[in-house]
Structure 1
Amino acid sequence: MKIVTYNVNGIRARLPRLLEYLDEQKPDALCLQELKCADDSFPAADVEAAGYGTVWHGQKGFNGVAILARGAEPTLRRTGLPGDPDDTHSRYIEAEVAGIVIGSIYLPNGNPRPGPKFDYKLAWLDRLRAHAAEVLAEEVPVVLAGDYNVIPTPGHDDVFSVRAMANDALMQPESRAALRRIVHLGYADAIRVRHPEGAVYTFWDYTAGCWQRDAGFRIDHLLLSPQAADRLLDAGVDKDYRGREKASDHAPTWVMLED
Structure 2
Amino acid sequence: MRVATWNVNSVKQRIPRLLPWLDQRRPDVVCLQETKLSDDAFHDVLGADLAERGYEIAHVGQGQWNGVALLSRVGLDDVRRGFHGAPGFPEPEAVAEARAVSAICGGVRVYSLYVPNGRVPDSDHYRYKLEWLSRLRDSVASGTGDDGAGNTMLCGDMNIAPADDDVFDPAAYVGHTHVTAPERRALADLEGLGLRDVVRDRWPDDRVFSYWDYRAGMFHKDLGMRIDLILAGAPIADRVAAAWVDRQARKGSKPSDHAPVIVDLDDAPDGDIGPVVPPPSNPAKRGATKVKLPQTLE
Name 1:145's counterpart in structure 2: 155
Q: Is the 8 A contact 2:249 2:255 kept in 1?
A: yes
Q: SS at 1:170's partner residue?
A: coil
Which of 112, 119, 126 is 2:120 aligned to?
112
Name 1:66's counterpart in structure 2: 69
Letter in 2 for 1:121: K
Shift of 1:50: 2.8
Q: Is the 8 A contact 1:54 1:73 kept in 2?
A: no
Name 2:200's counterpart in structure 1: 192
Shift of 1:88: 2.8
Shift of 1:179: 0.3
Q: Equivalents in 2 of 1:162, 1:230: separation in Å?
A: 31
Which of 54, 59, 67 is 1:56 aligned to?
59
Shift of 1:203: 0.4
Q: Equivalents in 2 of 1:136, 1:192: separation in Å?
A: 26
Matched, 1:19 2:22: no
Q: Equivalents in 2 of 1:65, 1:180: separation in Å?
A: 23
Q: Equivalents in 1 of 2:77, 2:261: separation in Å?
A: 22
Matched, 1:240 2:242: no
- Asked which structure has the greater CA Rg, the reply is 2
Name 2:79's counterpart in structure 1: 77
Question: TM-score, length-normalised on structure 1?
Answer: 0.94
1:243–1:136 Cα change, 3 Å: farther
Shift of 1:81: 2.3
Shift of 1:178: 0.6
Shift of 1:182: 0.6
Question: TM-score, length-normalised on structure 2?
Answer: 0.82
Q: Equivalents in 1 of 2:161, 2:140: separation in Å?
A: 19
Matched, 1:257 2:253: no
Q: Equivalents in 1 of 2:183, 2:144: separation in Å?
A: 21
Q: Equivalents in 2 of 1:142, 1:63: separation in Å?
A: 23
Q: Equivalents in 2 of 1:75, 1:152: separation in Å?
A: 31
Name 2:48's counterpart in structure 1: 45
Shift of 1:136: 6.2
Q: Is the 8 A contact 2:75 2:106 kept in 1?
A: no
Q: SS at 2:166's partner residue?
A: coil
Letter in 2 for 1:207: R
Q: Is the 8 A contact 1:34 1:106 kept in 2?
A: yes
Unpaired runs of 5+ residues, structure 1, are none
Letter in 1 for 2:71: L
Q: Is the 8 A contact 1:55 1:76 kept in 2?
A: no
C-alpha offsets along residues 40-84 of structure 1, whole Å, 9 cap, x if unaligned?
Answer: 1102222222331111101110100011112x5412431012213
Name 2:99's counterpart in structure 1: 91
Shift of 1:248: 0.5
Matched, 1:100 2:103: no
Q: Equivalents in 2 of 1:136, 1:222: separation in Å?
A: 20
Q: Equivalents in 2 of 1:116, 1:19: separation in Å?
A: 37
Q: Is the 8 A contact 2:157 2:229 kept in 1?
A: yes
Letter in 1 for 2:190: I
Q: Is the 8 A contact 2:247 2:260 kept in 1?
A: yes
Matched, 1:28 2:28: yes
Aligned length: 256
Matched, 1:128 2:136: yes
Q: Is the 8 A contact 1:7 1:146 kept in 2?
A: yes
Q: SS at 1:131's partner residue?
A: helix
Q: Equivalents in 1 of 2:56, 2:127: separation in Å?
A: 36
Name 1:9's counterpart in structure 2: 9
Q: SS at 2:231's partner residue?
A: strand
Q: Equivalents in 2 of 1:171, 1:135: separation in Å?
A: 29
Unpaired runs of 5+ residues, structure 2, are 88-92, 268-298
Letter in 2 for 1:57: V
- What is the aligned-residue identity percentage? 39
